[in-house]
Amino acid sequence: MLYGIEKNTTDFTISEKYIMKAASEVGLLERNIEDFIADHPKTLFPNEEILVIAQSISYRNMADVLALDATGNLIIVEIKRDHSSRETVGQLLEYAAKMKDVTYDELNDISQKYKKWTSNNLYDAFKAFSDDEYIDKEKLGSKQRIIIVAPDSDEGLQRIVTWLRSYGVPIEFVPFSIFADEQGQPKIFDIKGVQDTPDSVVSSSTWKRHWIFNTNETYSPGAYEKMFERNVAAIYGYKNGPRNLQGSSVGDTILAYVNQQGLMAVGEVLDEEVVPGVGIFFDKETGQQVPDEYHIKVKWDIKKSPVTNGEAKKIGYNLPVRTVFGKLHNGDMAQKIVDELNKR
């Protein structure tokens, strides 16, 4: 995905020749990249919302960005402006091991020292973010996800990351590129983004073709009702276009999650092809149709009462509710939730 970095925005128009450059060649510091990712977390997490709680915790050895995902995992992001080596993995694993036993009070203290933090306490902010009123605050951050962001790495690092992942260690290497104009000014930040989801990094169960879909009511209230009426799953406004709806197959099961309500419908994919669409999302202030809307065809079975995130957790599944469209990897637990929804 391409993101404009001029004037701290993600909007840009390609109107001239852009040349790939090392960050050091165009005067970018690691702190510049760190600030950009912290301020625009969707650049790194295109298919998932995260809650950024800190940057550059100098007194804790290493953490360029700290965040929580919707299941309470602590995301540890290390950013390298230039080359990243195998030593980076060792440092991050050491830091993650130290953070495994972090207390809620320690995490809350870290968040309160973050200059961009606006909440009185971390627990209330996370409950609102995760739609879970019953989350045990002492479990926040008890599991970690490790993300290395760098333009390049040596073969040793790649081998180590691949080997660790084969044993279920939640670590991912995410490369990026910088493009500058002919005057040497950095213009575009090109990054693929994190591919893992909160569910995939902690589950050892077999996927049974269940998906979770967040209907994204934040900026277009009532959109989920239109989706159910028209039998589609729809997204809009993502820089990677239709990519966040790709991956399913005809016959797959989708659970539709509505923020502040819960799982409200069970869907069957009728056509996995992602196509441009209209009529679902409208700007709540202007009433105008929003751009970049995409659909897949889904036959929705709407339930009389939702399964909330808290109820799903009691069944045995800590749902990745802030994932745009992702697999529910624990197939047995996902089917239990489907069975519960079908009773309603």
What is the reported pTM?
A: 0.83
Confidence tier at 57 by pLDDT (50, 70, 90) = low
- pLDDT for res 108: 95
Give the span between the Cα atoms of 256 and 86, in whole angstroms.
Answer: 41
The answer on pLDDT for 169 being more than 70 is yes
Phi-psi region of 274 (alpha: psi -120 to 50; beta: other; left: phi over 0): beta
pLDDT tens, 80-114?
Answer: 888 777 888 888 888 888 888 899 999 999 999 99
Give the span between the Cα atoms of 20 and 291, in whole angstroms.
Answer: 29
Give the span between the Cα atoms of 240 and 127, in whole angstroms.
Answer: 29
- pLDDT for res 5: 52
Mean pLDDT of 161-175: 90
Give the span between the Cα atoms of 216 and 57, in whole angstroms.
Answer: 32
pLDDT tens, 144-153?
Answer: 999 999 988 7
What type of residue is 108? N
Give the span between the Cα atoms of 209 and 171, in whole angstroms.
Answer: 24
Q: In the chain, pLDDT over 90 holds for what percent of residues?
A: 52
Give the span between the Cα atoms of 263 and 256, in whole angstroms.
Answer: 5
- pLDDT for res 11: 46
Mean pLDDT of 22-30: 85
The answer on pLDDT for 261 being more than 80 is yes
Report all structural domains of the chain as residue ranges with CATH numbers, in order of start: 2-191 (3.40.1350.10), 210-342 (3.10.590.10)
Nearest Cα residue to 275 out of 252, 256, 298: 298
Mean pLDDT of 15-27: 79
Q: Which long-range contacts (CB under 8 A, 24 or more apart) does 204-208 make?
A: 204/168, 205/329, 205/330, 205/331, 205/332, 205/333, 206/331, 206/332, 207/327, 207/328, 207/329, 207/331, 208/331, 208/332, 208/334, 208/335
Identify the bridge partners of residue 21 per DSSP, sorted by sequence position: 178
Nearest Cα residue to 140 out of 151, 129, 126: 126
Six token digits for residue 204: 């050892």
Nearest Cα residue to 241 out of 276, 193, 196, 279: 276
Identify the bridge partners of residue 202 per DSSP, sorted by sequence position: none
